[in-house]
């Protein structure tokens, strides 16, 4: 075999070049801490590292989403809590207004404070998050959700969309509540039905908020019937006594009967409202509890002939409408017995509606708390997953310092040997 001088040179240079590359690779592995410097070093593990890096970045984004969600939930919680405080104060003022010793002027002062509370509630409903987006506008978060219409009523301009953020590989959490579910779609009355006076009543009879005593009958009879139901009173005067001015012989109380009719004027139930025979009452009747179609209501006061009390299913009512109704009730005069009855009925209805609004807001606050707990729990899961991913990355792609140092020494020794042997070989010739 013929060995040319050029071949000796090429092979010597190649050996030195290979060892220099190996030396550079070992140095880079030690300095960078990465065992796989390019995909060709280890194609299989390189692909695994790319997938792990992708998962790590996704997990970091989930953590950023959790921070954003917690911030938005915290601001919403403050707005809801302040709204609850507003309604609590409104409730206290309503109870205060029920004091019979108060004058119309006193109640107007209470009404002024309630109007200010309404403005505060409006500000809460239009609250924004840290990015300037409206909390309760649904997907229309750049538009003011609540505005005042020409008639003074509150209009909801948002939609029913609910933003969600991805906080885990397979988990999303809502980061807000729609304005209509928080402030607009609140059941009035006792949540199932409501009671009210007919506008033309002249007596001082009132009707309680009532309650459902038989849920099955309520659904099958009351809700399936033709509502609203009216309790109609018929008053029949009895023959007066011989000496009406004698305090020991007062005139007999009139006979009062009631008929409950449905919306088609069909009689549902009849009964007597008069006090026990032989007992006399002026306008302060002892009252009576009436039950029909799964519900029970209490009636107080003395109705006049033709007076009506109305019972109908509960409806959705905004919190702002509840406060407006309260303000209207406080503006009622208190000169006639029917005026006093309307005032008391309006205040009782407002108390019931405020309680329903408070119940709804507390449920919203409970949902916020549940979501924040879910965020905290997912954050712990994400942290554990991030630690596992980092360990896997380290096991697959991190440099073994001891091994890399050993390779560095070997490559350095081999490079030095190649250089020394090349220096000796290049000096040889056919004559030597």
SS3 of residue 101 by DSSP: coil
The span from the CA of 388 to the CA of 394, in Å, is: 10
Helix or strand or coil: residue 13? helix
Predicted pLDDT of residue 412:
61
Instruction: Check: CB of residue 329 under 8 Å from CB of residue 346.
Output: yes
- Taking the C-alpha atoms of residue 202 and residue 336, their distance in angstroms, rounded to an integer, is 9
State residue 36's pLDDT score: 55
Question: Would you report the helix, strand and coil content of the chain in percent, each value rounded to 5?
Answer: 50, 15, 35
Which distant-in-sequence residues (6+ apart) come within 8 Å of 260 by Cβ? 229, 230, 231, 232, 267, 268, 269, 270, 290, 292
What's the pLDDT score for residue 333? Answer: 78
Q: Which residues contact 395 (CB under 8 A, 6 or more apart)?
A: none
What DSSP assignment string belongs to 24-43? HHHHHHHHH-BS--SGGG-H
Residue 418 is predicted with a pLDDT of 57
Nearest CA among 54, 64, 66 for reference residue 378: 66
Strand 316-317 relative to strand 193-197: parallel, antiparallel, unpaired? Answer: unpaired
* pLDDT in the model for residue 389: 74
Longest dimension (CA), the chain: 166
Rounded CA separation 70/76 (Å): 10
**CATH, domain 34-189+314-326+351-398, list 3.40.630.30, 1.20.1330.10, 1.10.287.1080, 3.30.70.1230:** 1.20.1330.10
Q: What is the model's pLDDT at position 56?
A: 85
Q: Which long-range contacts (CB under 8 A, 24 or more apart) does 344-348 make?
A: 344/98, 344/206, 345/196, 345/197, 345/206, 345/207, 347/94, 347/97, 347/98, 348/206, 348/208, 348/209
Low-confidence ranges of the chain (pLDDT < 70): 1-47, 49, 238-252, 276-284, 393-432
Every domain of the chain and the residues it spans: 34-189+314-326+351-398, 192-313
**What does residue 168 show for φ and ψ, rounded to 5 degrees?**
-160, 170
Please tell me the predicted confidence (pLDDT) of residue 277.
Answer: 61
pLDDT digits (tens, 9 = 90+) for 107-124: 999 999 999 999 999 999
Alpha-carbon distance 283 to 280, whole Å?
A: 10
Give me the pLDDT at residue 116, please. 97
């Amino acid at each position: 075999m013929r060995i040319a001088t050029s071949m000796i040179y090429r092979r010597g240079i190649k050996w030195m070049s290979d060892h220099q590359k190996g030396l550079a690779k070992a140095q880079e592995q030690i300095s960078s801490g990465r065992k796989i410097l390019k995909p060709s070093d280890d194609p299989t593990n390189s692909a695994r590292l790319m997938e792990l890096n992708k998962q790590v970045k996704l997990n970091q984004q989930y953590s950023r989403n959790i921070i954003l969600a917690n911030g938005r939930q915290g601001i919403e919680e403050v707005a809801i809590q302040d709204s609850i405080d507003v309604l609590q104060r409104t409730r206290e003022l309503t109870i205060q207004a029920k004091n019979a010793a108060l004058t119309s002027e006193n109640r107007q002062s209470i009404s002024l404070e309630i109007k200010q509370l309404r403005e505060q509630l409006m500000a809460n409903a239009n609250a924004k998050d840290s990015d300037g987006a409206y909390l309760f506008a649904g997907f229309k978060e750049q538009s003011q959700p609540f505005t005042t219409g020409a008639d003074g009523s509150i209009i909801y301009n948002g939609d029913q969309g609910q933003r969600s953020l991805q906080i885990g590989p397979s988990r999303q959490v809502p980061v807000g509540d729609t304005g209509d579910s928080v402030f607009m779609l609140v059941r009035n009355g006792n949540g199932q039905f409501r009671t009210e006076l007919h506008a033309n009543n002249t007596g001082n009879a009132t009707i309680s908020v009532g309650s459902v005593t038989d849920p099955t009958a309520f659904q099958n009879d009351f809700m399936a019937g033709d509502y609203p139901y009216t309790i109609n009173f018929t008053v029949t005067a009895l023959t007066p006594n011989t000496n009406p001015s004698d305090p020991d012989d007062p005139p007999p109380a009139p006979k009062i009967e009631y008929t409950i009719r449905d919306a088609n004027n069909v009689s549902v139930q009849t009964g007597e409202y008069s006090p026990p025979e032989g007992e006399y009452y002026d306008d302060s009747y002892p009252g009576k509890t009436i039950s029909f179609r799964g519900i029970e209501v209490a009636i107080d006061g003395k109705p006049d002939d033709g007076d009506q009390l109305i019972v109908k299913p509960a409806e959705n009512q905004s919190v702002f409408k509840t406060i407006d109704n309260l303000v209207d009730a406080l503006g009622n005069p208190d000169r006639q017995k029917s005026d006093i009855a309307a005032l008391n009925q309006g205040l009782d209805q407002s108390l019931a509606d405020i309680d329903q609004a408070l119940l709804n807001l507390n449920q919203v606050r409970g949902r916020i708390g549940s979501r924040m707990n879910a965020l905290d729990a997912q954050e712990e899961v994400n942290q554990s997953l991030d630690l596992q991913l980092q360990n896997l990355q380290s096991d697959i792609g991190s440099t073994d310092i001891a091994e890399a140092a050993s390779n560095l020494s070997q490559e350095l020794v081999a490079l030095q040997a190649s250089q020394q042997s090349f220096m000796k070989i290049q000096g040889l010739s056919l004559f030597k």
